Structure 1
Amino acid sequence: MRSNQERLKFIKPQEPRLVLEPPVSDDWLHEIKYDGFRVQLILDWAGARAFTRNGHDWSKRFWPVVNAAEKLPAESFIIDGEMIAPEADGRPNFHEMHSRMTWNAELLAFVAFDILYKDGLHLRPLPTIERKRILWDLVKPATGIIQYSQHVEGGGADFFAAVDKMNLEGMVSKRRNSPYRSGESDAWVKTKCWDVDELELIGVKRRAGRQTEGLFARDGKYVGKAVIATTRGIKDRLWQRIARARADHPAEQPAGVPSAVADGDVEWVKPGITARVRHLRGEAKLRHASVQAIDDGT
């Protein structure tokens, strides 16, 4: 019996910093950014467990992956990766995650992209490229419920273009010779693709010396703010329309707008104005968003 031995502990994951352009030097390797839940798989003498990025034990929710982890050819390990809900073509569908965790956990998949510990060896000081080699040797052929995050070395701009063309969320780039360090680090960066959507303008925030922002909704639900960076002519027509509507009957604050956003600087806009808004793909709220054009009814 080895029940008196201490179990392996969760390690705070390394987090990539957001950048707007991918690194282009050959010192980087690049992977797809999978849209799912960050998960750490741990195997020790008492079996396998699955932890969220914050260290919560979700082994029961991810039980098929946990069972598969216990069959990998090692006595112990700590693997970093992403739990996804893959479609038939392998693309992750984040909107299916909760449903599958509840009803069809066997339809989830774990994409392994790093290994921190294996069979008594602490691997975090090793270069990224060496850790990935050890990881591949452990999970290959990676055709089942535990998969492997393939990478390319160099060519960041071309990789980003391919990811964007496939309509994926983005990419993660890692310095090939960097160790694994918990927390946010410049050794890992993420570059997200952009989307352009037609959204409803529900308010405008104008403040002296600062960029003018629009508040936007989709299907009546607030989704965030975007800088109004259109031409002066379009802006002038928009202000005139808002002023006419306000003089006739001021618009009221829509429901569901956070109080931190709905301060006294906001001019609420009546329904009927839409805009094309460019924003980062895969975010719950608008991020790094800018207005490209406004349908102001003129």
Structure 2
Amino acid sequence: MAKRMLRAGTGGDIARSPVVTGRPSRRQAVLRFDPMPDRVEPCLALLSPRAPVGPEWAFEVKWDGYRLAVHIERGKVRILTRGGHDWTSRFPTIAHDALEMGLDSAILDGEAVVLDERGASDFGALQRALGGRGGKKSAAGAILYAFDLLYLDGRDLRALTLDERRDLLVAAIKPHGSIRMSEELDAEGAAFLKLACELGLEGIIAKRRDAPYRSGRGGDWLKIKCVQSETFLILGYEPSSAALGGIGRLLLAARRGDGLAHVGSVGTGFTTKTASELKKTLRSLEIEKPAIPLKAKGMVWVQPILPAEIAFRGLTDDGNLRHASYKGLREDADQSEVFQLDED
């Protein structure tokens, strides 16, 4: 893939600023020190139907894993999930390699992934490495693709532009072992999206070059997907003696207003192991009647609390998922949002 594109003059602008040069001198440390945040709410990407156009946008691959913040301070590392849960022990290699970078203090923003044989991120493989939903295994083979730097050696960098933060990130991490740069691609958004889809990737991310780091989903970052992948709640399952792991299909729901709405079912994407483990979990959540009014024969109904990640090609006219495929369960610690339908 093409190398990351740097705007002319960016490095010079950073070098002239005493606030944003690499490691602060003793004099600078006396003049200014920003307390290191205990946690930063992540900047989230807003779903967009098409890639934006213009030189003000930078583009990256959309990685399919768990969003993590890696905090390095005084020779110690904390790895926090999007929901603020401490998962340092579950990513031991990333934690080790973060210390090996030799930074005094830093907060890296990135995505932990497990790669398949093609080099693409595989959410299901990451879930299996962690032992499935509620599992306690460590994903020693996971890789962190770092794409932002929020704090470095006594400096809070969130007010800087994306270009400035990226330059400091490139200088700071010097890709090491399990920690790699999420490269910025020198390409037009539409052409890059087409290539990503041809390679079987999930999609791309577009980011405003001149934007500071703002928590929440404000539109500075956009996600454009080849195949939609969203989180839905499981309403019930159809037992099957012929299907892998004994699950014929899952009935799914999205949020609509303050309630839930049925969005169809998924019957592919399972392995014998993932379906067997899922069925065991679902059995512990069985209820007599569906959580929302539904008529379906042969279904076992469950409490609608399990968030499943589902890939699909869109919605039919009657609101059902098209070509849905099961990818795995989301952890509560990940706090991925359940798909929201427009209200009627």
TM-score bracket for the superposition, by shorter chain length: 0.5 to 0.7
Shift of the 268–103 alpha-carbon distance from structure 1 to 2, 3 Å rule, reads closer
Matches within 5 A, 1:1-298: 8-101=37-130, 102-103=136-137, 105-140=139-174, 142=175, 144-153=177-186, 155-194=188-227, 219-223=248-252, 259=290, 262-263=292-293, 283-284=309-310, 288-290=314-316
CA deviations over 1:83-134 (Å, ceiling 9, x no partner) = 1112243211111223323556221111100000100111111111111111
Q: CA–CA distance in 1 between the matches of 2:289 and 2:213?
A: 37
Q: CA–CA distance in 1 between the matches of 2:171 and 2:99?
A: 16
Letter aligned with residue 157 of structure 1: A
Q: CA–CA distance in 2 between the matches of 1:104 and 1:62?
A: 6
What RMSD over aligned residues (CA atoms) do the two structures have, in Å? 3.2
Letter aligned with residue 129 of structure 2: R
Higher strand share: 1
Three-state SS of the structure 2 residue aligned to 1:79 is strand
Shift of the 107–290 alpha-carbon distance from structure 1 to 2, 3 Å rule, reads same
- 1:160–1:170 Cα contact (<8 Å) kept: yes
- 1:51–1:58 Cα contact (<8 Å) kept: yes
- 1:28–1:153 Cα contact (<8 Å) kept: no
- The alignment covers a number of residue pairs equal to 226
Q: Which runs of 5+ in 2 are unaligned?
A: 1-34, 131-135, 229-246, 254-261, 265-285, 299-307, 323-344
- 1:27–1:154 Cα contact (<8 Å) kept: no
- Rg larger for: 1
- 2:227–2:311 Cα contact (<8 Å) kept: no
Three-state SS of the structure 2 residue aligned to 1:162 is helix
CA deviation after TM superposition for structure 1 residue 154, in Å: 5.2
- Relative to the length of structure 2, the TM-score reads 0.58
Q: CA–CA distance in 2 between the matches of 1:31 and 1:144?
A: 20
- Relative to the length of structure 1, the TM-score reads 0.67
Q: Which runs of 5+ in 1 are unaligned?
A: 1-5, 196-217, 228-254, 271-281
- 1:170–1:192 Cα contact (<8 Å) kept: yes
